[in-house]
Structure 1
């Protein structure tokens, strides 16, 4: 089955929805409904400021979703990738006790238990089976939270989505946990082509046993929804009949799966309301909101995400994926969306997409900024993804500058190493971020830029990096520049100089003028290449 024409954009919207839901629910993960409502109220938007925490954080749910999917390229882009191969991918990318998983110990954390089994030579699917680990451990939530990527490489193909989900889930889980993962995966695969939530759900149910507990909780939530318009009352029934008192363990699949179905049915096909219900209901708030956000993102696209609130601005596409491949930790939703889409393409005999000749930052998704934010800017600056100003593709990043003056820069940058907010001791809801820089001295940065036609004066565009200097204070190293007349385009290249061993925290672009003025500059693409120079 071929993907819809808007497949790539739906992957991007799905991944954004997944990340937004996780960032929304992460600060109060595992809080109960009563505490959430009492201390935070209903969760209609990010509450990170309440916790003195950044919006964008490390989270096992997002990292596992994208890292375990690397089994596909690592094993030849085959649709027949096996559970054993996916299990080996766990061993290849996880750093024991430090990345991706909740390392809660054997018998407590299902994923840690499975990892220890894999490490001891027990291959998947035995590593996650009921026979190996028992019902209680095998039927916790983890399979469901990591499953979205497998759906996104099977757009409109429920059979493949269910099969891939079963294989991926069986590395660590079994029984009801696999059924829950298959429901989510099939619904998301169907969301690429089917606008009706209940039709997606009907298709998903055809892949699991009708007498399973997951099927039962879905039937009950649907019945409650048909007769009761208030989701709060449904939540009470869900807690009464499928609560943690009946389904025990660290975080059981059944109550949380019920919360996902409730959020989708009562969410009125609205991204914000669906996330609100998932996050406010308690239980595993980041996991459930992440699955809900991914489904809604795929189904309703970017327009659905943007309908009621600015979810995208605070996250700026940023994603962190700590693993043994630490050079890929600092990434963004555009980069990862293209990875997923290219997996699908290679699995189906198509060439990989390489927008703007493979530039790392190409901004070819509507509204994308690929981690760029206003950073260390001397003058006011607004960033905007714009269409029609790229000479290599469709989209560019516009830097709208005001108050430009001599010897001052309007500056934007994107992270290439651990961002400064992760060094702040007072923020306490993020796991430590393990990463290596993505750029090093000796490599050459290239940027393709153009000045707006209606600029009144020439502007100066300059590349730079910001490093962690002595005492981890950020210091800008300015690079090559170009003077651009109104309407002029240029390619700027700069070899990053020796930094004295200090890591490069971000790569940036600055705009200045010899006269006081306002102006716009378009960043078409930015990338770097070459061998690092070791000192």
Structure 2
């Protein structure tokens, strides 16, 4: 039975997880012992490091992408470990992003991924028999499972079972017990008036009583009963009895499980204190604070996560899958997606409002979750952004924008960032890559209510910004009507091959000093939608995060050379961009084969292991190939082509029909309905070298 307030609880849990990750990340390296953390930061009561934007983290990547097994494979049946193994192979770029690629035999995840690549399916891919006991019991068993707990509110055993299946891709024994324990705690936290002790007992009831994991949990419980007011004393006890010197490997689960229980008990249900204690204890700080952040986020609720922790996150994280479009993650929207999955698994019908709030392939914000900002930003102190639960277009929520004594000549902007560059981050954690969520030709709409207290008219001008020149392209100004909901609509203009990274509104007023503009705007029902029609000019792109904007690459070497994108492969490689949910489109690309026999476009790519490849496939032939965890040639025709010649490819994908034109001549057509949507890109199936240029994407309305 899905509980009342389910979506809000998921929001609190997922936001709590990301607060914990962000809090713990700066002191994660082993050199940051608990003593050094105390020496430098004392009693932590807030973030110890400011970030422009927090880059991707494995502790968030796993919970976001491994549950996609429920979309891709386990759609109408029980989840199997093999389904999650497929999600690993489909969304993780080999050797970069997603998780720590520390080397086979060192990183458990790296080792297990290579097992999967070699055909060793889950759960054997993560087993003790294949990887050894030390690798199988590293911390990854419990750090990727938070969303499995969120999917099964109050279903303790079900949450634990699914978490175990997911963790078995890479872990075994105590690694699996940690997954079961954490997921069970999260599921239990949805219940009314539950205590921390009851959470812990729920977790213990899902794992063997004689396991080392259960033993460390009981040991910390016993110590807490004896010394309930000194968490540092308990941390010293863990160091002596359960420390890293006794549990080897890079980051073993048992010492960190002890820290998680310590933080839960000494935090006593208080969100802030729990994640702070987990961070001050050292060891794997972002993992531990993230796990307990999810548990206590659900337990305490969204209103008990303080603003000094919420505001810097601003409802937004980035991830580092192969899909740059999915890597820009809006926390309220993702929380609703998880809720819809939860309803599906419970075989219950979600409320219509929830169903309408998730629009795959669109940016859509309704601001109806408490405190939700959906990542909106401003560039000036003249505009103050905060969530409102008092004014809304069709619900009680909106984004409140206070304009503070603006006078003629002053201008500020509120905007959504639809694309990110390396300069937007302090570091390169887990190498996120991005595809734009707003493109030329799409529509933007919003409802804006004006509550003006003083001053002259408020003028709002829609705009977009492109990343190459940083130019803001302003559209037609609108004078807002006071005390009314104003409907704002515009079409995103052409940017001549540059990528758009901001979509928003310029705000100004002709008010004089003696009558300065003061009041509020309320923004609601913000939406970016419709068919895109845009270009990618490689002379206006950049090499960042080991990729070429706006693409994510899997294997191969990809560089920019004189306005061309050059892809060089020693074997199979691929490159992806575009809206993950794009259906019908025309893709035009100038292509120059330089070396080898495989030079192809990708269409409807739902990941590394699910897409179509279309193009040169052997000497003097062209093929359409379906990749669905293995390649099937759907059709091959003769076509004479030569290296170093330039060809204009036009690939039309409409419904179940795939048609390729080369140099304005139709070359082949094939029917296949395996993939109904996905990204576009480029690929090689063997050793090859190709240059690509002048990319044009025209999306079409589906029939």
How far apart are the structure 1 equivalents of 2:358 and 2:265? 43
Q: CA deviation at 1:317?
A: 0.9
How far apart are the structure 1 equivalents of 2:77 and 2:297? 24
Bigger RCO of structures 1 and 2 (CA < 8 A, at least 6 apart): 1
Q: Is the 8 A contact 2:393 2:525 kept in 1?
A: no
How far apart are the structure 2 equivalents of 1:95 and 1:520? 45
Match of 2:666 in 1: none
Answering whether residue 237 of structure 2 is matched by residue 233 of structure 1, we say: no
Q: CA deviation at 1:457?
A: 3.8
Higher strand share: 2
Q: CA deviation at 1:41?
A: 2.4
Q: Is the 8 A contact 1:205 1:215 kept in 2?
A: yes
Q: CA deviation at 1:338?
A: 0.9
Answering whether residue 410 of structure 2 is matched by residue 411 of structure 1, we say: no
How many pairs does the alignment contain?
521
Q: Is the 8 A contact 1:152 1:188 kept in 2?
A: yes
Q: CA deviation at 1:348?
A: 2.8
Match of 2:205 in 1: 206
Match of 2:13 in 1: 14
Query: What are structure 1's unaligned runs of at least 5 residues?
Result: none
| Residue pairs, 1:308-347, within 5 angstroms | 310-347=308-345
Match of 1:140 in 2: 138
Answering whether residue 301 of structure 2 is matched by residue 297 of structure 1, we say: no
Answering whether residue 505 of structure 2 is matched by residue 506 of structure 1, we say: no
Q: CA deviation at 1:240?
A: 0.9
Match of 1:459 in 2: 458
Worse-superposed segment, 430-439 or 498-507: 430-439
How far apart are the structure 2 equivalents of 1:222 and 1:72? 36
Match of 1:37 in 2: 38
Q: Is the 8 A contact 1:398 1:523 kept in 2?
A: yes
Worse-superposed segment, 93-102 or 340-349: 340-349
The alignment partner of 2:440 has SS state of coil
Q: Is the 8 A contact 2:58 2:430 kept in 1?
A: no
| Residue pairs, 1:68-217, within 5 angstroms | 68-78=66-76, 80-194=78-192, 195-217=194-216
Q: CA deviation at 1:373?
A: 1.7
The alignment partner of 2:106 has SS state of coil
Give the 3 Å change call, closer, same or farther, for CA 285–202 of structure 1 in structure 2: same
Answering whether residue 385 of structure 2 is matched by residue 383 of structure 1, we say: yes
Once the two structures are superposed, residues 207-240 of structure 1 have per-residue CA deviations (whole angstroms, 9 ceiling, x without a partner) of 1111100000011000000001311111111111
- TM-score normalized with structure 1 length: 0.93
How far apart are the structure 1 equivalents of 2:110 and 2:63? 16
Once the two structures are superposed, residues 478-524 of structure 1 have per-residue CA deviations (whole angstroms, 9 ceiling, x without a partner) of 22442212112222111111112111112222222222411211111
Q: CA deviation at 1:276?
A: 1.4
Match of 1:269 in 2: 269
Q: Is the 8 A contact 1:372 1:414 kept in 2?
A: yes
The alignment partner of 2:475 has SS state of strand
Give the 3 Å change call, closer, same or farther, for CA 85–129 of structure 1 in structure 2: same
Q: CA deviation at 1:421?
A: 4.4
How far apart are the structure 2 equivalents of 1:125 and 1:508? 47
Please identify the structure whose Cα radius of gyration is greater: 2
Q: Is the 8 A contact 1:383 1:399 kept in 2?
A: yes
Q: CA deviation at 1:54?
A: 3.5
Q: CA deviation at 1:356?
A: 5.7
Match of 2:589 in 1: none
The alignment partner of 1:461 has SS state of strand
Give the 3 Å change call, closer, same or farther, for CA 500–55 of structure 1 in structure 2: closer
The alignment partner of 1:328 has SS state of coil
How far apart are the structure 1 equivalents of 2:200 and 2:277? 18
The alignment partner of 1:382 has SS state of strand
Query: What are structure 2's unaligned runs of at least 5 residues?
Result: 536-703
Give the 3 Å change call, closer, same or farther, for CA 344–112 of structure 1 in structure 2: same
Q: Is the 8 A contact 1:107 1:113 kept in 2?
A: yes
Answering whether residue 371 of structure 2 is matched by residue 367 of structure 1, we say: yes
How far apart are the structure 2 equivalents of 1:179 and 1:357? 34
Give the 3 Å change call, closer, same or farther, for CA 429–95 of structure 1 in structure 2: closer
Give the 3 Å change call, closer, same or farther, for CA 419–508 of structure 1 in structure 2: farther
- TM-score normalized with structure 2 length: 0.72
Q: Is the 8 A contact 1:67 1:321 kept in 2?
A: no
How far apart are the structure 2 equivalents of 1:411 and 1:432? 29
Match of 2:573 in 1: none
The alignment partner of 1:452 has SS state of strand
Q: CA deviation at 1:78?
A: 4.2
Match of 2:674 in 1: none
How far apart are the structure 1 equivalents of 2:2 and 2:358? 24
How far apart are the structure 1 equivalents of 2:242 and 2:163? 24
